Amino acid sequence: MGGILNLKKTKIVCTIGPSVSNYEMLKKLVLSGMDVARLNFSHGTHSEHLKIINTIKEVSEDTNKKIGILLDTKGPDIRIGELEKTVHINCGNEYIFSVKKVKDVIPLQLDISPYLKINDKVLVDDGTLIFSVVGIENQEIHLRALNEGNLRPRVSINIPGDDYCPPAVTDNDILDIKFGVKNEVDFIALSFASTKVDVLKAREIIKEEKGEQWIISKIESNVGINNIDDLIEYSEGIMVARGDLGVEIDLSRIPSVQRSIIEKCNVKGRPVIVATQMLNSMIENPRPTRAEVEDIASAIYSGADAVMLSGETAIGKYPVESVEMMVKVAIETEKELKSRSEYGPSKRVTDVISSLVAKAVLLSDAKAIVTSTRSGYTACMVARHKLSVPTYGMTNNAATARKLSIVWGINEVYLEKNKGGISESVMHAATFLKKEGFEDKDLFIFTAGISNSKLPRTNLLEIREIGEVLSS
């Protein structure tokens, strides 16, 4: 029992890159606490990603742990084109940027002139260089440098504000999403998602390919913030992508925006990931800064389901140590995390059942929760209450079991042959808990659905004693 209670509940997403793409390193990440592997499709080929996907699945089988795979789309990424050499930018000087291949013009990969007007700010290389628009003519953008620095090839460009809102799903993204569905990834992280139209477009592609992947909308712009309610409603999850977001909006707004998005996701039972620079110093150093540790704790206290590592695992010198540090911080923080039993009224029976589960934990001496779930929705609704007792999502759907890897506090229980009725499911739950080390006298809470319609829903809650079930 001691080991059960010490399990971390916050999920950890690791970006897979050169540092950790082989079997040995991936296995170390899994054993250290990785729950979801993120593949960044801004880099690499399909053949390279397929090799990593197959290796992750092999490690998952060998370690007997369902590891989710998240495909992160490139999206409408604006970048500087190819440069023969680094260009030194002098403050106050004017420069011409264009998709035209003309001498003395800084090349762009995408024409952004239709989205700009005089005095707009253009941020380059994650805001390292700042320009102001002084003129636009025939796809040529005249920019005045507001600071000094070096301009490198292929660095990012950001246009703060609400005017730039291209479709989030590009032609390349369509090919990548189809590739992901074919190779059974679990999540599609939709970069620069701005409106529900973006989500519906991605959903259409997934359905055409006969997939059921969860869509995680990445909030990376002011437009995305303004449309957050729609994005939460139409997505299965949200990622607070603080990298581009910190360039698109004032940095001082990031903490309040992050907390607001997390709260909205918790209310709706949508998994929410906090990403970017959580342990950035550990790319080069074996120990994090105190501020980074506090950053992780703050995200967890606010209600985040998962925290994400990017460069720390993809290219860092200490990928395993980064995961181990995140696990330590999560476990310590969760000791002080308070459960939440109320989320207001709801007409959805499953939502009501999840609230009753939270109250039952407070009123009873239940030692565990087992929720039988087909799609994962019930598990998400229970998870939003941040309950202290071990919680298990029991399913006969392997894809759903992997999707639960992103949901706070839910440990997946995959029962391939769980096709019986409620009594058989309760028996499966009690048998599993007994094997996990729980005692016969321990109470557990069980939820499931008794459906009289074509739409399955959770509408049953039982509080049972393990020994009583096993002896029946």
Q: Is 218 one of the catalytic residues? A: yes
So what's the architecture of 87-158 in CATH?
A: Beta Barrel (2.40)
d(CA 134, CA 295): 39
The gap from C-alpha 122 to its chain's centroid, in whole angstroms, comes to 28
Measured CA to CA, the distance from residue 308 to residue 323 in angstroms comes to 10
Q: What is the pLDDT of residue 345?
A: 77
Residue 349 neighbours by CB distance under 10 Å = 13
**DSSP class of 282:** G
Q: Are 163 and 117 in contact (CB under 8 A)?
A: yes
Say which of 9, 11, 38, 384 is annotated catalytic. 38
| pLDDT for position 2 | 40
Among 21, 128, 39, 92, which Cα is nearest to 308's?
39
- pLDDT tens digits, 230-239: 999 999 999 9
Distances (CA, A) of 155 to 108, 151, 220, 331: 10, 8, 17, 37
The per-residue pLDDT for 383 is 97
Catalytic residue among 65, 79, 374, 457: 79
- Is 384 tagged catalytic? no
CB 308 within 8 A of CB 15: yes
Kindly tell me if the per-residue pLDDT of 296 is higher than 70.
yes
All residues at 6 or more sequence positions from 449 whose CB lies less than 8 Å from its CB, including other chains = 372, 374, 378, 456, 457, 458, 459, 460
Non-local CB neighbours of 280 within 8 Å, separated by 6+ positions: 292, 311, 312
| pTM of the shown model | 0.92
119, 165, 236 from 161: Cα distances, Å = 12, 9, 26
The domain made up of 349-470 has a fold known as Pyruvate Kinase; Chain: A, domain 1 (3.40.1380)
* Dihedral over Cα of 46, 50, 51, 52: its sign: positive
User: Token pair for residue 322?
Assistant: 């980064």
Per-domain residue ranges for the chain?
Answer: 8-76+166-334, 87-158, 349-470
Q: Please give the structure tokens belonging to residue 227.
A: 């449309």
> Is 51 a residue of the active site?
no
For 46-98, what is each residue's pLDDT tens digit? Answer: 999 999 999 999 999 999 999 999 999 999 888 999 998 999 999 999 999 99
Task: Quote the pLDDT of residue 277.
Answer: 93
From the candidates 10, 15, 195, 276, give the one annotated as an active-site residue: 276
Distance CA 25, CA 34 (A): 11
* Tokens 């501020």 -> residue: 291
The domains spanning 87-158 and 349-470 adopt the same CATH topology:
no
**Banded model confidence at residue 102, pLDDT cuts 50, 70, 90:** confident
Architecture field, domain 8-76+166-334: Alpha-Beta Barrel (3.20)
Across the beta sheet with 157-158, what order do the strands follow? 106-107, 94-98, 140-145, 129-137, 121-124, 157-158
Q: How far is it between the farthest Cα atoms of the chain?
A: 83
The model's pLDDT over 331-379, given as tens digits with 9 standing for 90+, comes to: 999 999 998 877 777 778 888 999 999 999 999 999 999 999 989 999 9
Q: Does 196 participate in catalysis according to the annotation?
A: no
Q: How many C-alpha atoms does 223 have within 13 Å on its Cβ side?
A: 20
pLDDT in tens, 12-39: 999 999 989 999 999 999 999 999 999 9
Please determine, for residue 161, whether its predicted confidence score (pLDDT) is greater than 60.
yes
Residue 395 per-residue DSSP state: E
Task: Calculate the average pLDDT of the chain.
Answer: 93
